Structure 1
Amino acid sequence: MMRTLTAVTAASILVAGCSSAAPSPAEPTSTATCAPAPAPDMTTPDGWIGFAAERPDAVSFAVDDGLGHTAEHDADTPHPLASAVKVVHLGAYARAVADGTLNPDERIPVAEWQRWYAPGTDGGAHIAALNRLGVANDGTSPTDPAATVRLDDMVTAMVRESDNGVPDYLRYRLGDDAVRDAAEAGGWNDFTPPTLVGVTLGALDATVDTDDLWSLAQRFAFDADFRATYGTTARPRDETELLSYFDRFGPTGTAAELARFHTAVADGSYGSGVDTVRRHLEWQDPPADAGFVAMGFKGGNLPGVLTHGFEFRRADGAPAVVVWLNHDLTAAEYESATTNLTQHQSLLLEAAADPATVGRLACIS
Structure 2
Amino acid sequence: MLLTRRHLFRTCGVAGAAALLPALSPVPATAQPDDWLAWFRANRQHVAVALDDGRGGRVAHRAHERQPLASAVKVVHLAAYAKAVETGLARPDEKVRVGDWEQYYLGLDGGAHQASLRALGIPFANGVTADDPRRFVTLDDLAAVMIRHSDNAATDFLRYRLGEGLVHATAARWPVLQVPEILAEVLHFVLGRRVGVRKYLSDPQLQLEVIGKFPDVPKTYEGQRPWARGTWAGTAAALSRAHRELTGVPAARAHLERGNALPPGVAGVGFKGGSLPGVVTVGFGVRWADGRVGSAAVLTKEVDETWFGRSAELVRLVLRALLEPAALRELQVSLS
CA RMSD of aligned residues (A): 2.3
Higher relative contact order (CA 8 A, sep 6+): 1
In the alignment, does 2:119 pair up with 1:132? yes
Deviation string 1:224-272 (CA, Å, 9 cap, x unpaired) is: 4533441423653587674333222x22100001001011122x2xxxx
Q: Which amino acid aligns with 1:79?
A: Q
Asked whether the 8 Å contact 1:49–1:361 carries over to 2, the reply is yes
CA distance in 2, matches of 1:239, 1:338: 10
Where does residue 361 of structure 1 map in the other structure?
A: 331
Where does residue 285 of structure 1 map in the other structure?
A: 260
CA distance in 2, matches of 1:278, 1:239: 32
Where does residue 193 of structure 2 map in the other structure?
A: 208
- The structure 2 residue matched to 1:247, chosen from 229, 252, 255, is 229
1:345 shift after superposition: 1.9
CA distance in 2, matches of 1:98, 1:66: 27
Q: Which runs of 5+ in 1 are unaligned?
A: 20-41, 269-273
Q: Which amino acid aligns with 1:222?
A: S
Where does residue 312 of structure 2 map in the other structure?
A: 342
Where does residue 167 of structure 1 map in the other structure?
A: 155
CA distance in 2, matches of 1:300, 1:145: 28
CA distance in 2, matches of 1:224, 1:133: 30
In the alignment, does 2:239 pair up with 1:258? yes
Asked whether the 8 Å contact 1:284–1:295 carries over to 2, the reply is no
1:191 shift after superposition: 4.5
Q: Measured at CA, do residues 242 and 343 of structure 1 come closer, stay the same or move farther in structure 2, by a change above 3 Å?
A: closer
Deviation string 1:208-229 (CA, Å, 9 cap, x unpaired) is: 13xxx5x1x3333333453344
In the alignment, does 2:171 pair up with 1:183? yes
CA distance in 1, matches of 2:177, 2:168: 6
1:127 shift after superposition: 1.6
1:305 shift after superposition: 0.3
1:7 shift after superposition: 4.0
Q: Measured at CA, do residues 122 and 247 of structure 1 come closer, stay the same or move farther in structure 2, by a change above 3 Å?
A: same
Q: Which amino acid aligns with 2:25?
A: G
| TM-score scaled by length of structure 2 | 0.88
1:50 shift after superposition: 1.2
Deviation string 1:162-205 (CA, Å, 9 cap, x unpaired) is: 000122112222232211222234xx125443111111222123
Where does residue 279 of structure 2 map in the other structure?
A: 305
1:71 shift after superposition: 0.5
Is the partner of 2:48 in helix, strand or coil?
A: strand
Q: Measured at CA, do residues 257 and 5 of structure 1 come closer, stay the same or move farther in structure 2, by a change above 3 Å?
A: farther
- The structure 1 residue matched to 2:198, chosen from 210, 218, 234, is 218
Q: Percent identity?
A: 34
